[in-house]
Structure 1
Amino acid sequence: MSNAPATKTQRLVSLDALRGFDMFWIISGEGLFHALAKATKWPAFLWMSAQLHHTDWNGITFYDMIFPLFLFIAGVSMPYSMHRKITDAGCTDAFQLSSAQKKGIYLGMLKRALILVFLGVVVNGLFKFNGYENTRFASVLGRIGLAWFFAGIIYLNFNVKGQVLWFAGLLLGYWAAMMLIPVPGFGAGVLTMAGSLESYVDRLLLPGRLHDGVHDPEGVLSTLPAIGTALLGVFTGQFLKSTNERWTMLKKALVLLAAGIILVALGSLWNITFPINKRLWTSSFVLYVGGFSLLFLAVFYLIIDVAGYRKWAFPFILIGSNSILIYMAAEGMVDFWHTANYLFGGMIQFAAVSWQPVFGALSVIAVQLTLLYILYRNKIFLKI
């Protein structure tokens, strides 16, 4: 195990692997574990299968953590991705850049955000256009793009103290608005799908179709606390990238573990008065899931970057290196099940009927990883 000081900025292999681990559950992992639960009836698989569903409203499951974990990872990446631009300008911190130097960075960030918003609408079925009123404009990719963009603006213009104040202000401000501003026909502090302030703002401002008719889980107002999720990643990235010799890699991992436990506890406490709710992206949800995001990263960082055990994570690295591409493909742009059935269906049919879905899910994973490996070997990556 390495206990050497982290003296230079280097790519976090653990971050790539964690990104792939996170995306794995969306593209095919959930299908595999649902099939295993049905085939085996084993308690562990049944529990995991239950965790791979979103909660109806208040509460939390593992599946509810996948999206915010990805946004957190995008935040962690920011100090690394902007490092060269900052050092080339002769600065040590992003907020030291001049207005002229920031302008080019702003334009690049805005371009990335708008591309993600557009791709999100594509995933929603833009090219199957069925009228403006039936088109959903809010999306997972759109939220990632917007929250990442505004977190980047804060990162570029404020030191760490200022960033923390923004983080606290976003969470406390969102909580105050949701609890104190009355909604016509419902009043203040009504945290139901129809009666919440977030849902009311969606109905007022979001064009086209809302995901749930009266509410959209990637709506306008709840983007504000989502910026906080990205900022948690930014704080983490700055800490891991620091070159202070007293902070060894092992110590950094232990700090991440401690911080994760504290945030989970704080989120649980806030849940008493402001319920953990992914669809509303409540402030307690930001803290609770942010804590688990830190815990996941700490474990991956300890195993991969500190202890040096990397080979086991290669499949996740394949997914993480082309995460947006495989997400869009798995969300309906590529029929992996058809390809897998064409290649492996003849063999799978000889398995017991109850196990055929399991082998079918494994064949989909094999097809996806093969595609990603070919892209990886040829250095073909979808960069946005």
Structure 2
Amino acid sequence: MAATIPADDLQQTPTRLHSLDALRGFDMVWIMGLEPIVIELAKLTHWRVFETMAVQLVHPDWNGFHFYDLIFPLFLFMAGVSVPFSVGRELEKGTSRNKLLWRVVRRGLILVIFGIVYNNGLNIKPIEEIRFGSVLGRIGLAYMCAAIIYLYAKEKWQIFWFWFFIVAYWLILEFASAPGFAAGDLTMEGNFASYFDRCFLPGKLYLGIHDPEGLFSTIPAISSGLLGILTGITLKKTGLTQMKKVAYMSIIGVVFLLLAQLWNLDFPINKNLWSSSFVLNVGGYSLLLMSLFYYVIDVLGHKKWAFFFKIIGMNSILIYMSKKFIDWPYTNEAFFNWLFQLVGDPYNLVIAALTYLMIKWLFLYLMYQKKIFLRV
């Protein structure tokens, strides 16, 4: 039976958000193995629900938004939410800001290095063959900048910097472009962010002329991290009841979604550019998901159902990096080839995808039991 939190406990500062671990696991499970299950079911059944979901699990070519575009920025948002609970707790203990600054910078740089390793492996390559832009690299840089602002700026100034980065980014792309293109050109070849990366980002770009995790488009990603930090501050406040926190997140989430659609008319929602309208769009969805998970898990106390996601969320970087060092498909075939043969075509592909996800989860469960977590 779910436990109801007493009214007196509403004013206590939470030490850990169970909902944050669960939401992080929900986010990671899609790229961990849930995506191919949905896609195979769509191919086999042709049911509209699976076909609709399968479309949402593919990135748009350029402008537009699908659910799959939310996975990356949601993770960055949650990295921000954790800052007031981790860095903030150390500040409350009396740890100096300069000491915490080093920790924040170190963590950010480690994530950048992890991202380079994820892209290129451990083999030594010429610089021109190395891709420096990465998912973990963007999370590391955006988290680092947002956390530094948190360390040295009051909440009202954090709000200022949130808007400053996305407005400034919009104005730059609105009035600048690559040489030979009209001001405000937002094509892959003509936009200023891609041109900046072609000039200053070393190594190779993911698409040759553009990198979706480039350097210049990391500027608005800082706002995604700051939104998470501001959400974490709200969740940590002792002067607000839990239901008010849920209401604030939900209302602001809806407002952001509406503003994103308005901004989309001039500055299209675009993950590749991490456009300002994209920041508001994914920020709105992130707030709504955070409010839902927080309400169900931390307010109502329904925690058991989220255990599956919690196991993933508590070791998300480990399972993400493992893809480069563990041949998961081979492990899947080695243990369950007999099952695939027993099921036969065409549903063996669905079973294969399910067992692929199960093996990864069991690996994380073992790490959880042994209390082994990859911390950065």
The TM tier, using the shorter chain, reads over 0.9
Q: Give the secondary structure class of the aligned counterpart of 1:37.
A: helix
* Equivalent position amino acid for 1:381 in 2: F
Where do residues 204-353 of structure 1 align in structure 2 (5 Å cutoff)?
A: 204-244=199-239, 247-330=240-323, 332-353=324-345
Is the aligned partner of 1:360 residue 2:352?
Answer: yes
Letter in structure 1 aligned against 2:68: Y
Q: What is the CA-CA distance between 1:10 and the residue it aligns to?
A: 2.1
The equivalent residue for 1:92 is none
Q: How does 1:1-384 map to 2 (within 5 A)?
A: 1-2=4-5, 4=7, 5-89=10-94, 101-244=96-239, 247-330=240-323, 332-384=324-376
Alpha carbons 1:59, 1:276 under 8 Å: kept: yes
Give, in whole Å, the separation in 2 of the partners of 1:228 and 1:134: 31
Residue type of the partner of 2:12? Answer: T
Range that drifts further, 71-80 or 349-358: 349-358
**In structure 1, distance between residues paired with 2:314 and 2:206:** 29
- Looking at structure 2, the residues matched to 39 and 352 of structure 1 have their Cα atoms a distance apart, in angstroms, of 13
Question: Conserved in 2, the CA contact under 8 Å of 1:202 and 1:221?
Answer: yes
CA RMSD of aligned residues (A): 1.2
Are 1:3 and 1:248, in contact at CA under 8 Å, matched by a contact in 2? no
Structure 2 unmatched ranges of 5 or more: none
SS in 1 for 2:342: coil
> 1:264 and 1:216, CA in 2 relative to 1: closer, same or farther beyond 3 A?
same
Say how many residue pairs are matched. 371
Counterpart CA distance in 2 for 1:354 and 1:298 is 39
- How much has 1:345 moved relative to structure 2? 1.4
Deviations 1:158-193 (A, max 9, x none): 111111111111011000000112421113100000
Alpha-carbon distance, 1:130 to partner: 4.5
Inter-partner Cα distance in structure 1 for 2:245 and 2:195: 42
Paired with 1:215 and 1:159, the residues of 2 have a C-alpha distance of 36
Report deviation, 1:259: 1.1
TM-score, normalisation: structure 1: 0.94
Say which SS state the counterpart of residue 333 (structure 1) adopts: coil
For the Cα contact (< 8 Å) 1:253–1:298, is it kept in 2? yes
Verify the 8 A CA contact 1:35 1:357 in the aligned structure 2. yes
1:33 shift after superposition: 0.8
Aligned mates of 2:6, 2:185 — CA distance in 1: 51
- In 2: Cα distance, 1:357 partner to 1:255 partner: 43
| Worse-matched range after superposition: 265-274 or 181-190 | 181-190
User: Residues 38 and 354 of structure 1 are in contact (CA less than 8 Å); yes or no, is this contact kept in structure 2?
Assistant: no
C-alpha separation between the residues in 1 aligned to 2:347 and 2:119?
32
| Cα offset, 1:9, TM superposition | 2.6
Q: Unpaired segments of 5 or more residues in structure 1? A: 90-96
Asked if the contact 1:117/1:141 (under 8 Å) is kept, the reply is: yes
In percent, how many aligned pairs have the same letter?
47
Structure 2 counterpart of 1:48, one-letter code:
M
Q: Give 1:3 deviation, angstroms.
A: 6.7
Check conservation: 1:137, 1:208, Cα contact below 8 A. Answer: yes
CA distance in structure 2 between the aligned counterparts of 1:214 and 1:61, rounded to whole angstroms: 23
* 1:335 CA drift (Å): 1.4
Q: Which amino acid aligns with 1:127?
A: L
Alignment deviations for residues 280-330 of structure 1 (CA, whole Å, 9 cap, x no partner) = 000000001100000111111111111111111111111100000101113
Matches of 1:56 and 1:329 in 2, distance apart?
28
Q: Does the Cα contact within 8 Å between 1:261 and 1:291 map onto a contact in 2?
A: yes
State the Cα distance separating 1:65 from its structure 2 match.
0.6
